[in-house]
A = this chain, B = another copy of it.
Amino acid sequence: MARGLARDHDEKRAALRHGAAQYFARHGFDRASMTGAAKSCGVSKALIYHYYPSKEDLLFDILDDHLGALVEVVEAARSEGIRGLIRAVLSAYEDADAEHKLQLDALSVLPADKQAPLIAHQRRLVAIMSDAVSAEAPALTPDRLRAATMTVFGIVNWFYMWHRPGKGLSRADYADLAGDFVLGGLRDLT
């Protein structure tokens, strides 16, 4: 027998994942070339293919990692109500804006069988948020509950589209504002 994987194998893989996510998010997944992603990570393209079998697999791992972590965070904040969930989601995006953006506009480039587990993660997020919405506005019919839940996701998922770090409200301040907004919005909903 000879040597196994390097000690820092997983860290390097993770670094590739994060570096590629930044590059993919900045240029758009389809437009972003593997050559460019590699260069932006400071390695050769062939090296990426040493760690990942294809561009698609790399994307999958980026999203799976991101969504997995998000589900964990959200599950931990489950008991804190909508305010807590909103704060948790927004702060989880803190260093993962790129991954978040990718999730929203590149998930659909994956084939159905690779989308499925990611969509399953998303559904868990939706289910948790839906419970919190339901607790706040118990009279909602199923259709209206779903609409209200998606309204909340619209608010938090839109954040990265307009927020520029260092300008305007901080993430934490916006989390408070959004929490107030959502609670006020749900108060009279039936």
Contacts and interface: CB of A to CB of B under 8 A. Distances in A.
Nearest to A187: B184
Give this chain's copy count.
2
A10 interface: no
Contacts of A104: 161
A95 interface: no
Interface string A64-78: 000000000000000
| Listed residue (A28, A153, A154) with the most chain B CB atoms within 10 angstroms of its CB | A154
B169 A151 contact: no
Given A147-B168, A147-B174, A150-B162, A189 B180 contact: yes
Nearest to A168: B143
B154 A177 contact: no
A158 to B, nearest CB: 3
A125 to B, nearest CB: 13
Given A28-B109, A31-B109, A184-B188, A154 B159 contact: yes
A96 interface: no
Given A154-B158, A181-B185, A184-B187, 14 more contacts: A28-B30, A30-B30, A144-B177, A147-B174, A147-B177, A148-B181, A150-B161, A151-B155, A151-B158, A154-B157, A158-B158, A180-B185, A181-B186, A184-B189
